[in-house]
Structure 1
Amino acid sequence: MSYVAVAEVHVKPEHMDAACAAVLGIVPQTLAEPGCETFLVHRAADGSPRLFLYERWRDAAAFETHHAQDYTRAVYRLYETWLAEPPIITFLDDLTDQGSA
């Protein structure tokens, strides 16, 4: 079963462009990680300073390994001053992995 997380990231408006660039900068490395099945980044369509990340990993260990990578930790360090509040991370159960309808 895959390990799926959705993160809602509230960014201070003055840091939104830099925050977008920082997270987009790690997409290629993240997608190349063993265990990464999907890593999508979206900006709120209503113009608010929010990012949404949809991540699908082979398992929790792959997710944790991603968060230990130097490039991921570098983005976290930047976000320490750029975020308006801590990210909201929701973990999801993929019903298609479970054979349920």
Structure 2
Amino acid sequence: MTFQNSMLIELLNDDTFVAWVKGENNITNAEREKWNDWLEENPYHAILIEQVNRILEMPFNEVEIGCESSGELERLLRVIEEEDRINILPNMKRD
């Protein structure tokens, strides 16, 4: 499992992170500040948030990601990567 996928699993298992990403009001100001600071620490974190959002927007009643479902996360990430690749190709200029 890649470091990125491990991070995604860890983040998706953190209820305060998921609530923060969704913009829910059921987290404390301290938790909100923690995640705001985390985002500002590293521009790469914005990419993780985008991927988490895409996973959470998938048509499931409830997305539960844990160690036992890391294979499913890998599959979801491949679908996202393929979708991104397809969406980028029409925008590429041909010589």
TM-score scaled to structure 1, two decimals? 0.29
Look at both structures and tell me which one has the larger radius of gyration over its CA atoms: 2
Greater RCO structure (CA 8 Å; 6+ sep): 1
The structure whose residues are more often strand, as a share, is 1
